[in-house]
Structure 1
Amino acid sequence: MGYLNSVLSSSSNQVHADDAPVSGGGLSQNGKFSYGYASSPGKRSSMEDFYETRIDGVDGEVVGLFGVFDGHGGARAAEYVKQNLFSNLIRHPKFISDTKSAIADAYSHTDSEFLKSENTQNRDAGSTASTAILVGDRLLVANVGDSRAVICRGGNAIAVSRDHKPDQTDERQRIEDAGGFVMWAGTWRVGGVLAVSRAFGDRLLKQYVVADPEIQEEKVDSSLEFLILASDGLWDVVTNEEAVSMVKPIKDPEDAAKRLMHEAYQRGSADNITVVVVRFPGDQEGDQEGSSSHGGSG
């Protein structure tokens, strides 16, 4: 499909359980944004987090696609979503003309295709997906599950996604209306099993645990400084405000992502930790020396 993918924007060298943490980054060809990622199994013996950072061209537009996918019940669902969600999205005929409906369709289609591919499996894998799509001066954040997206705008930390937890009033209502139940089992869980109320996969709970994304749109202007996407391995131990204040002084987004990953580990996060940081140059016109170190695998 004639992708503009450079070596920089490829993240196919996914970390595996026995590997050290990985990191990397890149810069869009039009200079509109730079990004970095860092991912580590943390204190866990298995790695179920995946990420995708991709720069592509659709109808002459440079598009940035960033995602964090936190698997449960095995890595298969998270890996499948990483490999298929963005391809399904940019192939959608309304990707440019009606991006929100294209995102909702791509989430739904990817979920149903994964469930079809799972027929032979007797395990019940699932995954969150927190994604950020950059098209022109639009930033669209779509979320399913409890990975989270936070922006820094005008110096302030603003959550641009909502964690989907079963005890939220509207989520509990939706689950009960579908014939399910929410109960306490160490934390609030759907059917006493799953601690997120929306996810890809989770075939046995599918009528309650949907993959419908909540989508929020932000304008990319001079007040938008950066975006943080991360799995709950970060957010379990670091607040939105703390994360933003740590990233602020670090111009290189790969270094910023690594800083957050290390901080979460040092604070005792018990989970896999994956962080993607996207920086917008609106607040640093002409300050390009910070981006010369991109592309290393750190």
Structure 2
Amino acid sequence: MSKSSGKTTPSCQNPVGRITGMSKDDDGDDPDLRAIIWSRDLERHPYGEFSFAEIQANLVKRDYSQIEIASDAIFVGVYDGHGDSDEASHFVAENLCKHFTGLVLKARTISEDSLKRAVIATEEGFLASVENKFDGDKSSAEVGSSCLAGVIWRGSLYVANVGNSRAVIGYLDDSKKMVAEQLTEDHNVNVDEIRNEIMSSNPDDPYIVVQNHGVWHIKGTLQVSRAIGSAYMKKQEYYEHPYFYTRYNLPKPFPENLVKVEPELQRRVLKAGDRFLIFASDGLWENLTIEQAVDIVNNNQRAGIARRLIIRALEEVAKKRNMRLDELKKIQKGTRRSFYDDITVVVIFIDHWSQNKEVPLWESSIRRFRDFGEPSGFNICEEIDARTSLRNDDHPLTIQDEGEIVPVTSPPSEAIVSDHLLTIQDEGYIVPITSPSSEATVCTSKDDDNDYDDLCDLSVPGPLFWSKDLDKHKYGDLSFAVMQANDFMEDHSLVDTGFEATFVGVYDGHGGSNASLYITDNLVQNLTRLALENGSISEDIVKNAVIETENGFLDHVRQNYPRNPEIAAVGSCCLVGVIREKTLYVANVGNSHAVIGFLDGTGKMVAEQLTTDHNVSFQEIREVNSSNPDRLEEVMLESDCLHAIRLASSDVECFLFVGAIVKDLRARH
């Protein structure tokens, strides 16, 4: 990001640095280890630093991997190929991020769906290439690849996984103890649950899974139950071809949908306690547990930590084989595969935007066995940065060492861009005209149980204050401030300034921040889509956007209620305002206020409240439950009045709005 005269510009426009080359091995600077392990010891990404290393065991390399750095995002891909070539893993490395970038630019946001569709598009492209070359290259239908992809963008981690690579997070729990958590599942038939599922789905096929030398394989040939490629396990014309029958003696019948490509998807809002992520192929996890890996990262210096993990894995291999590491490291490629597999490791440190942002990042593409980063095609910043969105949750409240309260700018630019466009024009963007005075440690959620929480772990009790003193919108200026009084921040809010419209949302949560954060993430998106579909903004469109957001949150409640019943007691008020073509549209649910100040005919300033407070009155409580006027088990607040939904306290999971379910509420005079 460049700064001048207090103004900000998108940081992706002015990269000034280039990633450095490899560094020396810090495990005794062993030349034999440096000769077989490629590494990038420590580099920067928008949210911290990373370490990257690989070792090749196969004669023909199988693993491919990549790190793509944009100014406000990082993409990590680990692709563990199988078969007699690297055709599939190389294809994934060349195409997955391209598909993902295209989908992101089209949607103008990053989501789990974008990752899923990118994986499927990559699979379709590879299967098409197999079909085109199969007559001359039968082996192309045999090769495949696992696919582990992760993206960090604006405080959230998105992960897609196909196969048996793993993403692991190391985080501090409430007692400040380091905890290892596996974020992905192993799609491998050596996992009892997966093997039993395949067997139960094919009860008439005794050869659906076969054990060879203590290891289970699908049809005796393939361990992974999900993969990109492996076409002979997906299409009957390949499975029953004489080439594969002769090669593998595959038993009939051909089972439909035996090996899938459907990716496992995750979204995780990064918390204050989250410290680092490990993305690695199964070659690492065959020799180290996730707890061992997290302990190694947590207790060693950052530089070279990915390489250190590989060395520790090699030490375990040597120990199992009753040999010395010096002997193991001298074994040549190809022969090594009898001892260990190709290993890829990426360690992503999460510094919560505390790194030095005075030196902008060079948007780079880093691939295995390349000493220098190349320009990345993952340049989503320039296209998504079409509007400016000011959000209090994007500028977390923090405390400096001296106790002064300051905002932290969401990296790498103070211009927080919107994913949701009320209008689209060909040129220009609006940016804030103020800059934060300093930076401090981010304050974010430490609740791992659901995505919509913003629980601040603060070393000094509140209240805390954040503000944007003066910024521009189409019709004038705006000022925006937030103060935290609760131990846990429940309010969420945003201002989205477009060329033809200004959107304001104030969401006052209660019972937690699940609902208010959900509204922040979804309401303006729903409003934008409806406005574009109808070609205008109206009261009905604003109303329908609120209703769609309600329905979406109810679905979220239903999905999470079995493991988190308390989510059914969480809600939020919702105050929305849109200014477009000199018209103000306001929608209100709850007891936030919209107030206008105007000059009357005498030039006197007059205050007028534009909204009604939707507070429960004791008379309304009595009317809802006239048979027992002193007790109301459950009620629901709606946008126009108090409405009785259910009086039986045993079933509340489906009844929640941006209002609230109120339990055991007693009428009082």
TM-score by length of 2: 0.38
CA deviation string 1:202-253 (max 9, x = no partner): 000023111111112222232110000111111001000000010113342x
- Conserved? CA contact 1:78–1:126, under 8 Å: yes
Residue 33 of structure 1 corresponds to which residue in structure 2?
48
Give the CA deviation at 1:175. Answer: 7.2
- Structure 1 portions without partners, runs of 5+: 11-18, 289-294
Residue 624 of structure 2 corresponds to which residue in structure 1?
none
Give the CA deviation at 1:95. Answer: 5.4
Pairing partner for 1:45 from 55, 59, 64: 59
Distance 1:9 1:106, change over 3 A: farther
- Conserved? CA contact 2:195–2:209, under 8 Å: no
Equivalent-residue separation in structure 1 for 2:350 and 2:152 (angstroms): 11
Give the CA deviation at 1:259. Answer: 0.4
Larger radius of gyration: 2
RMSD, aligned α-carbons: 3.2
Residue 256 of structure 1 corresponds to which residue in structure 2?
305
Equivalent-residue separation in structure 2 for 1:175 and 1:217 (angstroms): 31
Worse-superposed segment, 239-248 or 90-99: 90-99
Give the CA deviation at 1:287. Answer: 9.1
Aligned residues: 276
- Conserved? CA contact 1:4–1:56, under 8 Å: no
Residue 160 of structure 1 corresponds to which residue in structure 2?
183
- Aligned-partner SS, 1:80: helix
Pairing partner for 1:56 from 55, 70, 76: 70
- Conserved? CA contact 1:89–1:95, under 8 Å: no
CA deviation string 1:16-38 (max 9, x = no partner): xxx7321115212x4x1211210
Higher-RCO chain (CA-CA 8 Å, sequence separation at least 6): 1
Pairing partner for 1:169 from 193, 197, 200: 193
Equivalent-residue separation in structure 1 for 2:114 and 2:88 (angstroms): 21
**Is 1:203–2:217 an aligned residue pair?**
no
Equivalent-residue separation in structure 1 for 2:355 and 2:90 (angstroms): 38
Pairing partner for 1:105 from 84, 107, 117: 117
- Conserved? CA contact 2:89–2:145, under 8 Å: yes
Q: Identical aligned pairs, as a percentage?
A: 27
Equivalent-residue separation in structure 1 for 2:223 and 2:310 (angstroms): 23
Distance 1:276 1:189, change over 3 A: same
Residue 149 of structure 1 corresponds to which residue in structure 2?
167
Pairing partner for 1:116 from 104, 115, 128: 128
- Aligned-partner SS, 2:160: strand
Question: Aligned letter for 2:264?
Answer: E
Equivalent-residue separation in structure 2 for 1:126 and 1:215 (angstroms): 20
**Is 1:188–2:216 an aligned residue pair?**
yes
Give the CA deviation at 1:262. Answer: 1.1
Give the CA deviation at 1:6. Answer: 7.3
Residue 79 of structure 2 corresponds to which residue in structure 1?
69
Distance 1:171 1:250, change over 3 A: same
- Conserved? CA contact 1:3–1:56, under 8 Å: no
Alignment of 1:285-296 (within 5 A): 285=354
- Conserved? CA contact 1:9–1:55, under 8 Å: no
